[in-house]
Structure 1
Amino acid sequence: MIELDSVTKLYGTVIGVNDVSLTLGPGAHGLLGPNGSGKTTFLNLITGQLRPTRGRVRMFGENPWDNPRLYRRIGICPSFEGLYAEITARDWVIYMLRLHGFSPVEAERRALDALEIVGMTASMDRTMGSYSRGMRQRTKLAQAIAHEPELLILDEPFNGLDPVGRHEITMLLKDWVKAGGSLIIASHILYEVETLATSFLLVSGGRLLASGTPEEVHSLLKNLPNEFVIRGEGLRELSQKMIAEQLVDSIRLDGGDRLTVTTHQPTALTSRLPEWNSGGSIRITELSSGDDTLQALFTTLMRIHRGELR
């Protein structure tokens, strides 16, 4: 569906995307990264709104630059607020469908269907300048799906939505994928992507840090140190035992009742804790570690990228 071969995009001396190569097939893909990481530049490259400084981009096997026929196959929900304040949502979505070549009658039918799907029927004849940010997001999504594209490209689609709106749009997108549609959703909020995507791309500073399913990225991290926080009593003595058996890489005692340790031997360490905790002056009341979600993966990979972990 999408191919990038050694793609770099420069804005003068600023790097937007840095030597990225990847292949994406049909499905639901998450594009994760902090603000300014290169997500929007990546999306603009694959949709033909930008030309790469170096490398090659292909969308459905074609060069997307100056290729209008590709736009019938994709739906774009941009992050920017490019709406016309004095036009109604109904008129705007109809106009966008007319640009795709639909007749006036078919364009109106599709516009009404799309606006109903996103929950905008009651407000579709109001001017968009009177809309809340969440309503504008719904309207942008309506125009993105109205022509029934093969691929949806969504840049921060949940911005401005309240919890109910987020849930409704999430369910809409899940149904889209179940029906065989593909999507790329860019976000800096990990749980938004985790509920929708079966694979993800993690970018920072214009570079691709990791790609694949969450399980595949987890496999990259198995040799990295694990961090544990231990609470209880007798932690100074516990620290000495861990150091004596060479089970920890680093250790920090905070306030006498909280111990933070990093280790490359999490199984060996946790198997010794019950024995040390059985009687004597050591009493462990709480043991916690990094969770097994994309948030933990994102944090760890960012630390690798910054050189904090090796």
Structure 2
Amino acid sequence: MIQLNSVTKLYGTVIGVNDMTLDLPAGAYGLLGPNGSGKTTLLSLLTGQLVPTIGSVRVFGQSPRNNAELFHRLGYCPGSEGLYANVSGLEWVRYLCQLQGWNSADARRAAEAALATVGMTAAMQRPIASYSRGMRQRVKLAQAIAHDPDLLILDEPFNGLDPIGRHEMGELLKEWIAGGKCLLLASHLLYEVESITDRFLLINGGRLLASGTAAEVHALLVDAPNEITLRTSHPHRLASLLVEHKVTDSLHVSDHCVVLSTKHPGQLYEQLPQWLADEKIAITEMHSADESLQALFDSLLKIHRGEVL
């Protein structure tokens, strides 16, 4: 679906994307990174709005720059507004369908169907100037899906939506994926991506830090420093056992819980069951601070910044 070969994009002396190589098969992916990490630059390269300073970009095997044939297969919802205030949502989406080469009648039918899909039928005849930010976001999504593209590229699509709108947007995108379509969703909010797909790309400073499913990247981080909570009816005996085996950097006991920090969680996970069996200590609950995508994101950034060896 997407191929990047040693891609670097420079803005004068500022690096937008830094030596990125990537080969993504068809599917649904979240593009995660803090504001200023290079997400929008990467999307602009994929949609042909920018050309790489170094390297090559291919989408479905083709260069996206000035490629009308490829544009029929792409739907793009930009993070910026770019709307015309004095036209209606229907007129705007219809016009963009006509830019795809559709005649006026077919473009209007496609625009009406897309606006219905995003819940804008009742307001589609109103001028865009009268829309709330969430309504404008829905119209932007409608124009991205109206021509039924193969790959939908979204830059911060949940911005401006209220909780109900976010839920509806999430359900729509999950239906899109279930229909066999491809998706690349850029966001700085991890829970938004996590609710839609578990496959992601994480970038920071224009560099690709990790790609794959959350489980795959967790496996890579199994020996990164971590905090683990163990619940047991014998917390002091368990604490003594862990200190004896020298697997903790710090340890705290409170109310049937042992909370420990370790630089070698992989070793602990591997050997703990046997230690518990030998000492006849039962564990009723065990969880790690690194089980959420947010914690995973933080761990990767710490490694990238050299804070974790």
Give the TM-score normalised by the residue count of structure 1: 0.88
Q: Which residue of the partner structure matches residue 40 of structure 2? A: 40
Residue correspondence of structure 1 range 204-223 to structure 2 within 5 A: 204-223=204-223
Aligned-pair CA distance for 1:189: 1.0
CA distance in 2, matches of 1:118, 1:169: 8
CA distance in 2, matches of 1:66, 1:198: 32
Change (3 A) 1:273 1:128: farther
- Give 5+ residue unaligned stretches, structure 1: 279-283
Q: Is the 8 A contact 1:79 1:157 kept in 2?
A: yes
Q: Which residue of the partner structure matches residue 251 of structure 1? A: 250
CA distance in 1, matches of 2:295, 2:183: 24
* CA root-mean-square deviation: 2.8
Residue correspondence of structure 1 range 104-115 to structure 2 within 5 A: 104-115=104-115
CA distance in 2, matches of 1:242, 1:132: 57
Aligned-pair CA distance for 1:271: 6.6
Percentage identity across paired residues of the two chains: 55
Residue correspondence of structure 1 range 149-164 to structure 2 within 5 A: 149-164=149-164
Q: Which residue of the partner structure matches residue 169 of structure 2? A: 169
Q: Is the 8 A contact 2:88 2:128 kept in 1?
A: yes
Q: Is the 8 A contact 2:156 2:185 kept in 1?
A: yes
Deviations 1:110-144 (A, max 9, x none): 11000000000111111111111110110000000
Q: Which residue of the partner structure matches residue 132 of structure 1? A: 132
Name the amino acid aligned to 2:14.
V
SS class of match (2:72): helix
Name the amino acid aligned to 1:214.
A
CA distance in 2, matches of 1:308, 1:277: 38
CA distance in 2, matches of 1:266, 1:258: 14
CA distance in 2, matches of 1:174, 1:81: 24
Name the amino acid aligned to 2:7.
V
Aligned-pair CA distance for 1:235: 8.8
Q: Is the 8 A contact 1:236 1:253 kept in 2?
A: no
Aligned-pair CA distance for 1:260: 4.7
Deviations 1:50-106 (A, max 9, x none): 110100111111111122222111000011111111111011001101111110100
Aligned-pair CA distance for 1:198: 4.3
CA distance in 2, matches of 1:172, 1:236: 50
Q: Is the 8 A contact 2:173 2:196 kept in 1?
A: yes
Residue correspondence of structure 1 range 72-83 to structure 2 within 5 A: 72-83=72-83
Q: Which residue of the partner structure matches residue 53 of structure 2? A: 53
Give the TM-score normalised by the residue count of structure 2: 0.88
Q: Which residue of the partner structure matches residue 296 of structure 1? A: 295
SS class of match (1:123): coil
SS class of match (1:142): helix
Q: Which residue of the partner structure matches residue 226 of structure 1? A: 226
The count of residues paired between Structure 1 and Structure 2 equals 305
Q: Is the 8 A contact 2:5 2:57 kept in 1?
A: yes
Q: Which residue of the partner structure matches residue 268 of structure 2? A: 266
Q: Is the 8 A contact 1:226 1:266 kept in 2?
A: no
Aligned-pair CA distance for 1:224: 2.2
Aligned-pair CA distance for 1:269: 5.3
Aligned-pair CA distance for 1:228: 2.3
Q: Is the 8 A contact 2:75 2:145 kept in 1?
A: yes
Pair 1:117-2:113 in alignment: no
Q: Is the 8 A contact 1:27 1:198 kept in 2?
A: no
